[in-house]
Amino acid sequence: MTAWWNWAGWVCVVPGVQQGATGFVLGALEVAYPHRADLWGDAWFGWALTAAGLVVAMLPNLLPQRALKLWLRFAVGLFFGLLALYWTWFPAMAAVGGHHFQTPAGVFGRFHNGVNTGGDGEAAASDAYCWTVGLLFGAWVFYGYDTSAHLAEETHDASATVAKGMWLSTLSAWALSVPTLVLVLFCIQDFPALLAAPYANNFTAYLVQLLGPRGAVVVLALLAANATCGSASCFLSAQRVTFAISRDGVLPGSRVLRRLTRRHRVPAAAALLVLAVALVVASAPLALGSAADVAMAAVAAAATAATNLSYLIPLAARYTVGRAAFRPAPALRLGRAGSWLLAPVAAAWIGFLFVVLLLPQRYPVSARSLNYAPVCVGIVAVASVVGWVAPWGLGGRYWFAGPRRTLGDVVDAGEDVLT
């Protein structure tokens, strides 16, 4: 069940992240070529951009380990290049040319309830509700911290390196993102105009106000490339999860999905499955028309909820049914006190986040604004339960004997894993 929840979450995250990259591309096109707004707003054009981005995101994950390492370094370098632009170009432009910085009261004292989209007299969400939903903004800092775990079998000294990577990625994301967010807020020029902007996303209007059209296009292009790198990282996680649970026989067609290419030893079949699912999910805007944004928001929320719940299952088992059988990591561990202190906090946070992700994010609630994430989560829940209890020897309770630690276990069973 943990495998199903985690896999469903990761394969749905990939198109959600790439959709963000598409938004940056569309924003740049809207600024550079405003006379073609009819084309930029066409659902098929947006889907084509997303599909192309998904293919680009897949390619690094078909490379050998050395090339993948170089690509990851490029992605990190691109991120720090953008960060440098934020900390130099943004404040420099806010200080000249008739621009201005926001006052501390404007940054920390202004509150805008973006949940409410109706007019006077319509149902509205309270400010407290808005604050609660707003906590999801910070949740993304923690999302993806386990990517290093998905590369554990391809890492030297994995028992220590993976744990350090999880801690370092979370702490560095927090340390870098909070000051940068405050800087971005101080550089806002016209807040009401941001809310009324006609672009694909509000950040496009922010950049046009601060940097001008040409500067906005440059930054949006870099952001699109950076977001595609993020999609590729999520693709890597989804691909490795697909391979890992296929090695355990969880997915239908596992004998194919767990095979590696002979030349580079990468799970290419798993990558193709992730791409296929991502393309299907990304096709929602074509089928739903005006409700497409609601569908993609539901997919993103459901993916995050499913993945986080998959983290909670082993955490709960560790301190209940698995207490006697659990063996701590040999290299890096929290210790008995640290483990018992952090586990309840982590479990409470995941439970709270799970509930918030299922709440409506727009008021008044209608068929178009309803958060359909509970429906998506329900589908995953049914699939995971059926996959475990199915009769006639098909359910995992009949044949699952625990995870296979390495491909050697599969080879020992007499299966050729190379294609």
Q: What is the CATH number of the domain that holds 392?
A: 1.20.1740.10
pLDDT tens column, 19-72 = 889 999 999 999 999 888 888 888 889 899 999 999 999 999 998 888 888 998
Would you say residue 417 has pLDDT above 50?
Answer: yes
Residue whose C-alpha is closest to residue 255's, from 418, 107, 395: 418
Report if residue 419 sits inside a domain.
no
- What mean pLDDT is reported for the chain? 82
As a whole number of Å, the CA-based R_g of the chain is 23
Provide the residue type at 64 as one letter. P
In sequence order, which residues have a C-beta less than 8 Å from that of residue 25 and are 6 or more positions away?
A: 49, 220, 221, 224
Q: Which ranges constitute the DSSP H helices of 59-195?
A: 65-94, 104-108, 127-142, 147-150, 158-186, 191-195
Residue whose C-alpha is closest to residue 267's, from 251, 280, 282, 283: 251
d(CA 99, CA 95): 6
Report if residue 382 sits inside a domain.
yes
Report if residue 349 sits inside a domain.
yes
pLDDT tens column, 71-112 = 989 998 999 999 999 999 999 999 987 889 999 998 998 888
- In the chain, the number of structural domains is 1
Report if residue 412 sits inside a domain.
no
Backbone angles phi, psi at 217, to 5 degrees: -65, -40
Q: How large a percentage of the chain has pLDDT more than 90?
A: 27
What is the structure's pLDDT at 222?
96
Report if residue 142 sits inside a domain.
yes
Report if residue 19 sits inside a domain.
yes
Q: How confident is the model at residue 150 (pLDDT cuts 50, 70, 90)?
A: low
Would you say residue 414 has pLDDT above 50?
Answer: no
Domain that includes residue 117, residue range = 2-323+331-407
Q: How confident is the model at residue 373 (pLDDT cuts 50, 70, 90)?
A: confident
Structure tokens at 412: 């020992």
pLDDT tens column, 223-267 = 999 999 989 988 998 998 899 888 888 888 888 888 888 888 889
Annotate 287-341 with DSSP letters as a single string.
Answer: HHGGGHHHHHHHHHHHHHHHHHHHHHHHHHHHTTTTTTT----SS---HHHHHHH
Q: What mean pLDDT is predicted for residues 128-145?
A: 71
The residue ranking higher by pLDDT, 201 or 218, is 218
β-bridge partners, 182 = none
Report if residue 417 sits inside a domain.
no
What is the structure's pLDDT at 419?
54
Report if residue 176 sits inside a domain.
yes
